[in-house]
């Protein structure tokens, strides 16, 4: 499947479920203290690095973008799905949201102070992940923090879903020029996920 094909499939699927998905995740951060802690740590890392604009890549309906904004971070959201962006703008007026793809990130070099991508890497095939991480490295300022949240496992449940082990994601990041600072595992006995903290090296 070519890049345009799988991107088109992902875009269409999220356009279709945008409203219901927003309802599904609306209270997620209220119910998940560990995720709130991860975002608080990320916000602190952004401030410690000097502050500035932060890209929430694969922002969906914008709940992470809005939470970061509430923590004092100048966050804006980018998502492949115009439907998701419409919902994000509806639910969080006054914040910046735009349509875009992490496979071809339309941001200037070294233009963001931090970058976060939560549970959106699941749709990126293995051979495209280095391209995505190359874009993340390019748009981040030297020393800027990166936080990834992703589904943990082996294999691909479908053509547009890909599970990864934290050690594989960390290896790709190192190859792209990131230093790994920390990681933790969520729900190891159920549907495991991981949050990984990294930083762009100069």
Q: What's the CATH code of the domain at 24?
A: 3.40.50.150
Say what the pLDDT of residue 147 is.
98
85 vs 66: CA distance, rounded Å: 13
pLDDT of residue 33: 93
pLDDT score for 131: 96
123 DSSP assignment: G
Residue 37 is predicted with a pLDDT of 95
Q: For residues 130 and 165, give the distance between their C-alpha atoms in angstroms, rounded to a whole number.
A: 15
* pLDDT for the residue numbered 57: 98
- Spell out the residues 6+ positions from residue 187 whose beta carbon is closer than 8 angstroms to its own: 193
Report the predicted TM-score, pTM, of the whole model to 2 decimal places: 0.92
What pLDDT, on a 0 to 100 scale, did the predictor assign at position 155? 80
Q: Note the pLDDT of residue 60.
A: 92
Q: Which pLDDT score, from 0 to 100, does residue 143 have?
A: 97
The full length of the chain comes to 202
Tokens of 106: 């339309």
44, 24 Cβ separation under 8 angstroms: no
Ordered mean pLDDT values, 10 residues apiece, the chain (202 residues): 70 69 77 93 96 97 96 97 93 96 96 96 93 98 97 81 94 98 92 95 84
Name the domain count of the chain.
1
| The predicted structure's pLDDT at residue 74 | 98
**Residue 106 CB neighbour total at 10 angstroms:** 11
pLDDT at 199: 98
* Contact predicate 75/63, CB 8 Å: no
Q: Which residue range(s) make up the domain with 73?
A: 3-200
């Amino acid at each position: 499947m070519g890049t345009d094909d799988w991107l088109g499939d992902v875009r269409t699927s999220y356009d279709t479920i945008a409203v219901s998905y927003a309802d599904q995740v609306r209270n997620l951060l209220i119910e998940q203290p560990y995720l709130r802690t991860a975002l608080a740590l990320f916000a602190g890392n952004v401030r410690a690095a000097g502050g500035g604009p932060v890209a929430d890549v694969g922002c969906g309906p914008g709940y992470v973008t809005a939470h970061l904004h509430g923590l004092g971070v100048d966050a804006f959201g980018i998502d492949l799905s115009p439907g998701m962006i419409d919902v994000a703008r509806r639910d969080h007026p006054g914040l910046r949201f735009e349509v875009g793809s992490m496979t071809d990130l339309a941001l200037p070099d070294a233009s963001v102070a931090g970058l976060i991508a939560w549970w959106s890497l699941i749709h990126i095939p293995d051979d495209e992940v280095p391209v995505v991480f190359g874009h993340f490295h390019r748009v981040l300022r030297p020393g800027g923090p990166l936080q990834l949240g992703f589904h943990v496992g082996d294999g691909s449940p479908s053509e547009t879903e890909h599970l990864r082990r934290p050690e594989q994601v960390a290896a790709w990041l190192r190859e792209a020029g990131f230093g790994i600072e920390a990681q933790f595992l969520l729900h190891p006995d159920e549907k495991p996920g991981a949050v990984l903290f990294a930083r762009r090296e100069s």
